């Protein structure tokens, strides 16, 4: 009996357990998962400040237009604030702390002053006041004590910028998982090596390594084994440092040279099950553990077809990485409108590469087929087809970028 996609995701998730938590400097946190809620120690904005380059004044001094006020000096961003006398102005720059007593900033364009660099004028004539203060109030975006980021968040650049802006320096995160990649097959040639007449470039190595990094993992190495079990055994045994997870591609089917199949059946270090998931592409899958340097290391064995590898990474490897990070399911789905009909296959979940035009899902321009790696990059997601879909029907799309 074939397992479903969700059943297989659970099996793969169950291979691993969350990694330890450590306090990490912000620059090292990209792609990692936050372990606890964190709260702001600095508000955003940090203080009342100007949103414009111009002149800080008191609203009560603007009853008549135009009006001319003496200028008491200048506050660039980063400078200590001044305290102008009532009826006076201060030249101020965007982001500078608002001088005491001032409650309006007049943009320089609404004065007779020359924009840009130059000496502070002794006085300024304000030619226009539209009622707007052009002031950013302390804490209007985030207040001290507000929860900035929630536990389980996969940290992106904007998350880390929020942490930095609110005064956080280090974050409690799960350690970055170390993942080794092993591609298999005698037909594969490393990048830059002259291709033999029946050889193809190894594209799975860069596909797996790249996507692992996009998903927040560190790739400990990319290795290649030929079609002999001894070659695969040797590559796995040599993995150092010992990774948290191994991902292999190829050799899981029923061919006479399918090395992962043979290795799983014969190698004492292999504790791997091979089976079928009711999906297409990516039907044959392997999962289990491999003994490396006295440690039992989780291993996911994806099939060789590159489009099946892509699907397997998003569905299964991602599930393991989420669990290692102690995070919930990180996949993102979009409810889309089918731009064409998508036939179904009884008892099988079809994962169909689609291009999104807004929320309209169109089939991959290169057509479908689990070998079509040359045009896969044009696609935005995988439509999940479990029943026949007519044009205009709603479908769920798993976003892949
Ligand atoms: N008689 C059957 N044949 C096949 C079945 C089946 O049920 N019965 N299943 C098909 C399906 S579905 C898949 S998926 C593949 C999976 O096969 P393997 O995991 O054994 O993969 P390979 O045979 O090693 O390779 C398949 C295909 O992918 C190319 N490949 C492999 N590795 C790479 C790489 N690193 N970079 C680029 N391309 C790679 C390889 O050259 C093959 O063309 O089995 C079907 N057959
Ligand atoms: O399941 Mo295989 O991936 O169709 O090519």
Q: How far is the CA of 304 from the centre of ligand 1 (A)?
A: 4
Q: Which atom of ligand 1 is nearest to the CA of 308?
A: 14
**Two tokens, residue 183:** 């591609």
Residues 6+ apart with CB under 8 A from 227: 184, 185, 186, 251, 257, 259
Class of domain 5-18+176-324: alpha beta
Query: Whole-number mean pLDDT of the chain?
Result: 95
- Whole-number percent of the chain with pLDDT over 70: 100
Q: Which of 146-150, 169-173, 193-197 shows the lowest per-residue confidence on average (mean pLDDT)? A: 193-197
Q: Whose CA is nearest to atom 30 of ligand 1?
A: 304
Residues 6+ apart with CB under 8 A from 54: 91, 92, 105, 106, 107, 108, 109, 110, 111, 134
Q: How confident is the model at residue 365 (pLDDT cuts 50, 70, 90)?
A: confident
The predicted model gives 40-63 an average pLDDT of 97
Q: Whose CA is nearest to atom 17 of ligand 1?
A: 253
Q: Which atom of ligand 1 is nearest to the CA of 249?
A: 32
Q: How far is the CA of 353 from the centre of ligand 2 (A)?
A: 13
Q: How far is the CA of 327 from the centre of ligand 1 (A)?
A: 32
Proximal ligand: closest to the CA of 199? 1
Q: Which CATH architecture has domain 333-399?
A: Beta Barrel (2.40)
**Residue 360 pLDDT:** 98
Q: Which atom of ligand 1 is nearest to the CA of 187?
A: 41
Superfamily of 49-136 according to CATH: Molybdopterin biosynthesis moea protein, domain 3. (2.170.190.11)
Proximal ligand: closest to the CA of 198? 1
Assess contact for 24 and 171: CB atoms under 8 A: yes
Q: How far is the CA of 367 from the centre of ligand 2 (A)?
A: 15
Return d(Cα 282, Cα 263) in angstroms, integer. 20
Q: Which atom of ligand 1 is nearest to the CA of 258?
A: 20
User: Above 0.85 for ipTM, yes or no?
Assistant: yes
Q: How confident is the model at residue 2 (pLDDT cuts 50, 70, 90)?
A: confident
Residue to substitute in 204, 274, 303 for testing ligand 2 pocket (most ligand atoms within 8 angstroms of CB): 303
CB atoms within 10 A of CB 216: 24
Proximal ligand: closest to the CA of 262? 1
pTM reported for the whole predicted model: 0.90
The predicted model gives 302-324 an average pLDDT of 97
Whether 192 shows a pLDDT value over 90: the answer reads: no
**Residue 170 pLDDT:** 98
**Residue 1 pLDDT:** 61
Whether 266 shows a pLDDT value over 80: the answer reads: yes
Would you put residue 216 in left (φ > 0), alpha (ψ -120 to 50) or beta? left
Burial group, residue 82, by CB count within 10 angstroms (0-12, 13-18, 19+): buried
| Cα–Cα distance list, 376 to 306, 310, 353, 367, 379 (Å) | 9, 9, 8, 9, 6
Return d(Cα 202, Cα 195) in angstroms, integer. 11
Indicate the domain borders of the chain: 5-18+176-324, 21-44+140-174, 49-136, 333-399
Secondary structure (3-state) at 78: coil
Q: Which CATH architecture has domain 21-44+140-174?
A: Alpha-Beta Complex (3.90)
């Amino acid at each position: 009996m074939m397992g479903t996609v969700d059943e297989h995701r659970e099996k793969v998730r169950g291979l691993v357990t969350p990694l330890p938590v450590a306090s990490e400097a912000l620059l090292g946190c990209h792609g990692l998962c936050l372990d606890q809620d964190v709260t702001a120690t600095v508000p955003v904005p940090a203080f009342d400040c100007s949103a414009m380059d111009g002149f800080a004044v008191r609203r009560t001094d603007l009853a008549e237009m135009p009006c001319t006020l003496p200028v008491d000096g200048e506050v660039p961003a980063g400078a200590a604030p001044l305290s102008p006398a009532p009826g006076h102005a201060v030249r101020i720059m965007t982001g500078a702390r608002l001088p005491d007593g001032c409650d309006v900033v007049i943009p320089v364009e609404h004065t007779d002053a020359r924009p840009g660099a130059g000496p502070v004028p002794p006085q300024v004539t304000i030619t226009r006041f539209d009622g707007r203060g052009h002031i950013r109030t302390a804490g209007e975006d985030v207040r001290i004590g507000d929860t900035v980021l929630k536990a389980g968040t996969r940290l992106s650049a904007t998350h880390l910028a929020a942490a930095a802006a609110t005064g956080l320096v280090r974050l409690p995160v799960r350690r970055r998982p170390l993942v080794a990649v092993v591609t298999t097959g005698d037909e594969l040639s490393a990048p830059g090596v002259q291709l033999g007449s029946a050889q193809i470039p190894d594209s799975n190595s860069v596909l797996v390594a790249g996507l692992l990094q996009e998903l927040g993992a560190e790739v400990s190495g990319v290795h290649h084994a030929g079609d002999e079990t001894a070659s695969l055994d040797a590559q796995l045994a040599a993995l150092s440092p010992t990774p948290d997870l191994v991902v292999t591609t190829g050799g899981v089917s029923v061919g006479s040279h399918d090395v992962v199949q043979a290795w799983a059946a014969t190698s004492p270090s292999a504790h791997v099950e091979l089976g079928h998931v009711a999906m297409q592409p990516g039907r044959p899958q392997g999962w289990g553990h491999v003994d490396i340097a006295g440690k039992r290391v989780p291993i996911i064995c994806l099939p060789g077809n590159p489009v099946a590898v892509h699907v397997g990474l998003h569905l299964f490897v991602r599930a393991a990485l989420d669990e290692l990070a102690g995070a919930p399911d990180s996949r993102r789905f979009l409810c889309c409108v089918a731009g064409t009909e998508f036939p179904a296959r009884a008892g099988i979940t079809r994962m169909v590469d689609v291009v999104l035009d807004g929320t309209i899902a169109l089939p991959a321009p290169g057509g479908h087929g689990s070998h079509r790696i040359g045009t896969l990059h044009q696609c935005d997601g995988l439509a999940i087809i479990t029943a026949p879909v007519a044009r205009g029907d709603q479908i769920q799309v798993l976003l892949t970028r």
